[in-house]
Amino acid sequence: MTEIDIRLTRYGSRVATELTAAALADLSERYGGDGDTTPIQPGEFDPPEGAFLVAYVDHAPAGCAGFRTLAEDETTAELKRMYVAPQFRGLGLAKALLAAVEDAARQAGRQRVWLETGTAQPEAISLYQQSGYARIEDFGHYKGYPDVRSFGRDL
């Protein structure tokens, strides 16, 4: 039986850095360039303003996701760096990570989660739609880009 463990982790930790580098490499393959140029400050993921989670499968780091509070709306959490390593896909980790981020955001007093994704990530779009997220007006760093798709969900 596969053991899945999701832990709160400091964004700048070694394991978080390795997983976010892999996430950016994946985005770079899909979109070109650096993958994601959204400005991020590591402290944005420190509780209670945010959280960064790492999923382990049988004690091996397998994926990550986090949230930061939107500066313009303290009731809204922005999902960032959602990623599952290819060898761990198909185990339900993305759903588990998404639920864990939502729980952390709810516990921090956030009322909704927003996110940006893109058309080159159809599996992400499908996950969000299946998880109750609906299209919202584009926001954030990629607002106005033709391939961006923004989603949101009330907690």
Label residue 34 by pLDDT band (50, 70, 90): confident
pLDDT digits (tens, 9 = 90+) for 79-136: 999 999 999 999 999 999 999 999 999 999 999 999 999 999 999 999 999 999 999 9
Domain borders along the chain are: 4-154
Report the amino acid identity of residue 61. Answer: P
CB 150 within 8 A of CB 140: yes
Q: Which helix (H) or strand (E) holds 105?
A: helix 93-107
- What is the reported pTM? 0.95
CATH architecture of 4-154: 3-Layer(aba) Sandwich (3.40)
d(CA 77, CA 104): 10
